[in-house]
Structure 1
Amino acid sequence: MPTTLAVFSDVHANLPALEAVLRDIDARLGRGEVGAVYCLGDLVGYATWPNEVVVAVQERGIPTIAGNYDEGVGLGSDDCGCAYVTDEDKARGAESIAYTNATVTETTRQYLRSLPRHVRVTLAPPRERKAEPVEVLMVHGSPRRVNEYLFEDRPDDLIVKRVTEAGADIMLFGHTHKPYHKALAVEAEDGETIYRHAVNTGSVGKPKDGDPRACYVLLTVDAERPKTDPDYCQVEFVRVAYAVEEAARAVEASPLPDAFAQMLRDA
């Protein structure tokens, strides 16, 4: 029987967006459509509710990995591991992590510091079916680096390398805030063509793909199907409307740069 996981990432202290996503996931859990929920990190940074976001995730017992921003704040660092390009972006980034470091409680910081970098889920078929289990790996940037950007236009062979070297059939990741799914053909040892899957879950709290709605993924895996069939893994990107203006105005009322508010509106 197929298993469906709800997976989200990059909340970035945007509580209204997270609450909207969790309401949507809760409805699906109530209808039995989702078996488990996971978070790929970057709970904090850029918006005004870092502590509240962490509490919401903790209270639900959602397995969560560390994003680069979580690691920076967990260590009390002034470096979030972000690849800012312009001097203006670097200045804004410095304001953001300084604000976040000054806002989080020690309890929040300890939680962020405790998060693992990877989560692996093995989905096995029934014993009477002799198919191999499906290995699902969850990371923030990549298995290689927490802050590696695996954009959709990166070469397929590079993404295949990252997935295969990690011993995964399906790799879920975030960090770029731009969702996509690739089914990648790979030649197996027996000469058959099998498929690995790379899934960027997008961002809950700071989308960058032109759609300001929060984004998360429903990943459905049928471990009874052979890996020669790319449809053993199916991906649905769920977009959830939330109170963007509430989040934007909270940023504008804080010491954070107003530009972050406009980014939420414009995505």
Structure 2
Amino acid sequence: MHLIISDAHANYDALTRILESVRYDSVIFLGDSVDYGPQPAETLDLLREVGSIILKGNHDAAAAHGISCRCAEELRPLSGYTREKVTMKFLSKEDLMFLAGLPEKVEIEVDGKRIYAVHASPRNHLYGYVMPDISDEKLASELYDVDSLNPFPRRLDHDLILLGHTHRAMMRKLKSIILNPGSVGQPRDGDPRASFALLGEEVRIERIDYDVENVVRKIKDLKLEKWAEESLISILRSGSTNNISRA
């Protein structure tokens, strides 16, 4: 059994809950270990301990290279604030070098299944959005027409295409199975439970409860500005960004 996870976002409690509750032979992590959550260093350490494959996400790139995460506009103030006040405060130079060296995509074979894994999209490895409500036509174009960072564009013909980034779980079937396991640490689909996927003979998405209020306590201990604290807590409790505050 192979565990597929994404977007942990420094939520060590949620990640630990999944890892302690699921039997797995390997872990594929689709990126974004840092920002938003209170424990970036512990989360990254745990991923390095268990992760057979760890990809770079847009937030990982932002922390490692000092660039914009280019996330959704309404979340940019919160992202930038937590990166400055939490992520960069707790990560070591070695942590940042590790994030900088992560791959943006991998192509592997697992149990006879050919897998293409990326944080966001084959067209745009770090920043593309493939939302659950995308039409089949647009989805096919996004996935099969071009690998945008390959100088010789090609059609993907893998059995399973793994995506993260949206914080919304999705499984679709076209020529391939297209899977987004949702977010470990900060779901935004209205369900605050930690989300993950399991790959065996079949692939399935699962959710699991974890101690959200313990993470809330850790956020409060950081003594962040009120708007940021309230926004982070609201997202964790509701699984939604609808009620976040502005700086």
Matching residue of 1:83: 72
Matching residue of 2:46: 56
Residue type at the aligned position of 2:7: D
Residue type at the aligned position of 1:200: N
| The one of 118, 130, 150 aligned to 2:130 | 150
Tell whether the 8 Å contact from 1:43 to 1:54 is kept in structure 2 after alignment.
yes
Tell whether the 8 Å contact from 1:181 to 1:235 is kept in structure 2 after alignment.
no
| The one of 162, 165, 186 aligned to 1:206 | 186
| The one of 252, 260, 266 aligned to 2:220 | 252
Larger radius of gyration between Structure 1 and Structure 2: 1
TM-score by length of 1: 0.78
- CA 1:124/1:238 → structure 2, altered by over 3 Å: closer, same or farther? closer
Runs of 4+ residues over 4 Å off in structure 1: none
Structure 1, unpaired ranges of 5+: 30-34, 126-133, 185-194, 222-233
SS in structure 2 of the partner of residue 13 of structure 1:
coil
- The separation in 2 between residues aligned to 1:123 and 1:215, in whole angstroms, is 21
- The separation in 2 between residues aligned to 1:217 and 1:204, in whole angstroms, is 10
Matched, 1:265 2:233: no
Tell whether the 8 Å contact from 1:76 to 1:101 is kept in structure 2 after alignment.
no
- The separation in 2 between residues aligned to 1:97 and 1:80, in whole angstroms, is 10
Aligned length: 223
Q: Which moved more, 1:39-48 or 1:249-258?
A: 249-258
Matched, 1:102 2:74: no
Percentage of matched positions with identical amino acids: 30
| The one of 193, 199, 215 aligned to 2:195 | 215
Query: How much does 1:62 deviate?
Result: 2.9
Residue type at the aligned position of 1:5: H
| The one of 79, 83, 87 aligned to 1:93 | 79
Query: How much does 1:243 deviate?
Result: 1.0
SS in structure 1 of the partner of residue 199 of structure 2:
strand
Query: How much does 1:103 deviate?
Result: 2.6
